[in-house]
Amino acid sequence: MRTLTRNQWLLLRVAFYLAVVAGLYGLRGGVDWRRVGDLLHTGEPGRELRLAGRELAPQLVDTLLVLYARDYPAVGITLLPGGADLALEHLLNGRCDLALQTTPPSARTQALASAALGDTLSWHPIALAALELWSAAPAAARVDLVGLRALLAGSDSLGAGLLIAEDPALGVWDAFARALDLDPEAAASPGVLFVADAAAVLASLPARPEALGLLGGFAIPPDAAAGTARPLAVGITATDAAPLPDPAAVAGGDYPLWYFLYICHRENATVEAAKLVTHLTSARGQRRIERIGFLPARRILREVHLRREPPNR
């Protein structure tokens, strides 16, 4: 009987894990977080890990944690739903060990952490995605950052009239304002309509074909392409090149609207929290993020290749 090599066993193990995750996704294109919880709520006493902020990147988070639980079955993982604000609230109140965020902690947040926890917060980017502008207008093709800033300032040079965005508490709005170098609260002008979530943004666009819809690339609904709205190309100015938000354009820096997914924790983190952070920021963890279908934070698209020709050529 043939004996499998170590690499072959590893490939079989990874294939099994991915098959389990694919089965969970089913026809809906996403894992029910309650079913993921059934896989994660096991572990040895004293080896618990609590992560908050699932709604920031449902597919990525669910898949990463299912695979991590398979690698480290002794760790009991609790996955808490909610967006950026609720995740940060959980962290500041000691209800979780790790919180996902779309922006680094502000000075105000650090002050709250110091007062509530007697500690500071650390954060690490783990993945990268586009901030996408969608439209249901048949002729819509592109927008630019100058026009977007003008729209938020009350001068609509784009002719959009309205920007529809999800609840700011979910985190995408703060990332968008940061990408435009604007204050999130000041940018929430009368030209912005906030709705419940990304699905509500897409549902609002057909009735308002002139409007723009803001979506974060980590949480685009799996059925988004089935509707009438489509993502637009984005340039810096009206005359600059405007690429679509495809992975190559985002990773190469050509697409100008993007954001990181951060994992945030207390400076004095628990052992299990530190282990997960180390895993996600390691080369292995970054490769896993890429295999799931997202851009890792440390990906370099334009690699440098050094070649030396033989002297006789």
- Cα–Cα distance list, 275 to 68, 88, 280, 298 (Å): 11, 20, 9, 18
Residue among 248, 246, 250 nearest 230 (CA): 246
pLDDT digits (tens, 9 = 90+) for 57-95: 999 999 999 999 999 999 999 999 999 999 999 999 999
* 30 has a pLDDT exceeding 90: no
How far apart (Å, rounded) are the C-alpha atoms in residues 239 and 136?
23
- Cα–Cα distance list, 306 to 251, 292, 300, 311 (Å): 21, 30, 16, 16
- Indicate the pLDDT class of residue 270, thresholds 50, 70 and 90: very high
Residue 169 DSSP one-character state: G
Q: How far apart are the first and last CA of the chain?
A: 51
How far apart (Å, rounded) are the C-alpha atoms in residues 289 and 35?
21
- Mean pLDDT along residues 11-15: 47
How far apart (Å, rounded) are the C-alpha atoms in residues 255 and 236?
9
SS3 98: strand
Work out the percent of the chain whose per-residue pLDDT is above 70: 81
How far apart (Å, rounded) are the C-alpha atoms in residues 179 and 130?
11
The H or E element that residue 222 is part of is: none
Give the pLDDT score at 45. Answer: 76
Give the pLDDT score at 186. Answer: 79
Of the given ranges (47-56, 58-67, 183-192), which has the lowest mean pLDDT?
A: 183-192
* 157 has a pLDDT exceeding 60: yes
- Mean pLDDT along residues 282-304: 84
* 29 has a pLDDT exceeding 70: no
Of the given ranges (15-19, 122-126, 218-222, 266-270), which has the lowest mean pLDDT?
A: 15-19
Give the pLDDT score at 37. Answer: 58
More confident residue, 173 or 34: 173
CA angle 148, 255, 178 (to 5 degrees): 50
More confident residue, 63 or 19: 63
Whole-angstrom Cα Rg for the chain = 21
Give the pLDDT score at 25. Answer: 44
* 11 has a pLDDT exceeding 80: no
Percent composition of the chain: helix, strand, coil (DSSP 3-state, to 5): 40, 20, 40
* 28 has a pLDDT exceeding 90: no
CB-neighbour burial class of residue 253 (10 A; exposed 0-12, middle 13-18, buried 19+):
exposed
* 200 has a pLDDT exceeding 60: yes
Give the pLDDT score at 119. Answer: 96
Q: Is the pTM of this model over 0.85?
A: no
How far apart (Å, rounded) are the C-alpha atoms in residues 158 and 143?
7
Domains and CATH numbers, the chain: 12-127+261-296 (3.40.190.10), 130-258 (3.40.190.10)
How many residues can be counted in the chain?
313
Give the pLDDT score at 304. Answer: 44
- Give me the chain's average pLDDT, please: 86
